[in-house]
């Protein structure tokens, strides 16, 4: 590859709870899946979180064909895994629009908008009130 020549990549942004994931995919033989400079196993020690993040690749049968680089910020491990799944789905859609029906049917293109409700003043939590006493 000549110096100055850049490889073609496709990107997508995913969100879940308080997490935001920027996903870049490119064609390559290395089959790397790097999350914040770490391998998938280092970043997500729990198998369930790894499975959630990799689901779009299994649905589109692209596992083992792409190099994937992810930068994720905010939230916890579960939210980050969901954000990666959403971002990876969008990046795959950028790569090949024919993946849309499969990804849409699996529900990976829909943003899960559920977030924690803020605490209100005068209450213990978002909705928990002081116990009512009649006498």
Measured CA to CA, the distance from residue 84 to residue 45 in angstroms comes to 15
Is a pLDDT exceeding 90 seen at residue 31?
A: no
Q: Which helix (H) or strand (E) holds 90?
A: helix 77-95
The answer to whether residue 124 sits within a structural domain is no
What is the pLDDT at residue 85? 95
**Mean pLDDT confidence for 38-60:** 92
pLDDT band at 62 (very low <50, low <70, confident <90, very high): confident
Average pLDDT over residues 49-70: 90
- Enter the pTM of the model: 0.86
| Residue 101 domain-assigned (yes or no) | yes
> Looking at the domain assignment, is residue 98 inside a domain?
yes
Residue 94 lies in a domain: yes
How many structural domains comprise the chain? 1
Quick one: pLDDT at residue 5? Answer: 52
CATH of the domain at 76: 3.30.230.10
Average pLDDT, the chain: 90
DSSP tally for the chain: helices H, then strands E: 4, 5
Decide if 125 is inside a domain.
Answer: no
- Residue ranges making up the domain that contains 68: 10-106
């Amino acid at each position: 590859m000549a110096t100055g020549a850049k490889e073609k990549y496709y990107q997508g942004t995913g969100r879940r709870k308080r997490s935001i994931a920027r996903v870049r995919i490119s064609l390559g033989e290395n089959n790397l899946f790097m999350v914040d400079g770490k391998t998938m196993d280092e970043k997500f020690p729990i198998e369930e979180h790894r499975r959630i993040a990799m689901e779009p690749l299994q649905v589109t049968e692209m596992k083992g064909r792409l190099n994937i680089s992810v930068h994720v910020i905010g939230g916890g491990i579960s939210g980050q895994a969901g954000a990666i799944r959403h971002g990876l789905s969008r990046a795959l859609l950028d790569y090949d629009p024919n993946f849309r029906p499969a990804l849409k049917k699996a529900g990976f293109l829909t943003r899960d908008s559920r977030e924690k409700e803020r605490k209100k003043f005068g209450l213990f939590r978002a909705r928990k009130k002081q116990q009512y006493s009649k006498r």
